[in-house]
Structure formats: C-alpha cells, structure tokens
Structure 1
C-alpha cells in the first residue's frame, strides 16, 4: 500500500483535521494513527473504510490518489503506464473482493444470530 498513508495525510490536511482528531474518531492512539500515515503498519479494510468515511472520500481514492501522479510521470513510457494502470485495477478489484467477502461473512453471522433469536 505504498503511498496510501501519504494520501490519507493529504486528505486529512485538506479538511484541516489533526492527527489527534482522526485518532479519536478511530478509537486509537495518536501514535498509532501516525503510524498509518507514515506507512509503518498495514491498514485493515475496515480501518481504511473508517478513515475514508471520516475524510468523506472513497477507499478507492485513498488507494489510488498517489498512482495518478505516477501515471502522469510515466506518460512517455506506454509500457510502464499500462503496468501501473493494470496494477491499479488489480488492487482495486482485490479490495472490492475483500469487502464483498467481509460483507458475506457479516451477513452469514447476522443470519445465524436471527436464527438463534427465533429458536429462543
């Protein structure tokens, strides 16, 4: 996820939010939040979604904003451009597949809970 932390920082600063504010919203310490922006820890899909919601952007925006700059720099090299674009689509697709998988698990859990409630 190289660059994602920097994108998060950029969007946060554009909104005038502090790291402390973001950390409070995410129920984590400011030092752990700083690790996210400094790309010292991996971000779970759920955490990325929460950050995107706070910043009022899509998860896609957080994952690919830095890639736009890379594509611009590579405009003269078509092969590299194509590889960056393909990587972007693969990353986006994998993210959406993970979200769908997580939601399927959540739905299965909730169905089981409903079943248990009806049994009681």
Structure 2
C-alpha cells in the first residue's frame, strides 16, 4: 500500500532532495524527518502543507488523491462524501496531535513545578 510517507519519499527523491534537505527546510532534525517518512509519528496538516510546498505539490496528492480526480469529483454526488471524509481524517489527525502536545505540555509543567518547589 502506498502511504503518505512513501509518497513524500518518492517525490523527495524525484526532486533530488535528501532527508537532510527537507529537515533543514522544515526546521527539524534529519532523524525527526525520517520518522515522518516512516510514519512513526503522525503528520499534522500544517506539516503536510509545509512538505507539499517544498515538494511543489498539493496536500491532496500527498494523501493519495490526484488533482484531476478531485476536479472530476466536484460535480458528482460523491464529491461531498469525499470532502467530508478527507476533512474528518484531517480533523482526527489534528486532534491526536493536539492531545499529544497537551500531554507534553503537562509533562513539562510537572517538571517545572518540581524545580520551582
């Protein structure tokens, strides 16, 4: 199955970029970027937009939908369902990312509280 990480890697390689190049553009380390391609970590919509910009493509293509398919579906009844599913997928991914960030904030606050006491 061709997942988002594989699509990103394929586009990156087609453009002749290394993982280090993209990591630098994104302001992250190469190992962090490698985890994105391996999908060891969830990719937020903001990060997908950044990657799409760097790779000169669209988020729709990164998540597996060809631009032409999206255009053709705009006039069909399935267009609405497709858009709702895509939006729900993005919302769920962002909710998971937010939950992870909240956990990290709580963890860091606990560390700070212990240092202050």
* Same fold by TM-score greater than 0.5: yes
Aligned residues: 103
Equivalent residue number for residue 94 of structure 1 = 92
User: Greater helix percent: which structure?
Assistant: 1
Equivalent residue number for residue 71 of structure 2 = 72
Q: Cα offset for 1:118?
A: 1.1
Write the distance in 2 (CA, Å) between the matches of 1:62 and 1:104. 29
Q: Cα offset for 1:87?
A: 1.0
Written as runs of structure 1 = structure 2, the 5 A alignment for 1:27-106 is 36=38, 42-45=39-42, 48=43, 52=47, 56-57=50-51, 64-65=60-61, 66-69=64-67, 70-76=69-75, 78-106=76-104
Write the distance in 1 (CA, Å) between the matches of 2:14 and 2:97. 27
Matched, 1:12 2:16: no
1:37-64, Cα deviation, whole Å (9 max, x unpaired): xxxxx5422xx36xx59xx426xx8863
Q: 5+ unaligned residues in a row in structure 2: which ranges?
A: 23-28
What TM-score does the superposition give when structure 2 sets the normalisation length?
0.60
With over 3 angstroms needed to count, the CA separation of the structure-2 counterparts of 1:92 and 1:33, relative to structure 1, is closer
With over 3 angstroms needed to count, the CA separation of the structure-2 counterparts of 1:15 and 1:2, relative to structure 1, is closer
Q: Cα offset for 1:27?
A: 6.6
Alignment RMSD? 4.0
Write the distance in 2 (CA, Å) between the matches of 1:27 and 1:107. 19
SS of match in other structure, 2:100: helix
With over 3 angstroms needed to count, the CA separation of the structure-2 counterparts of 1:101 and 1:2, relative to structure 1, is farther
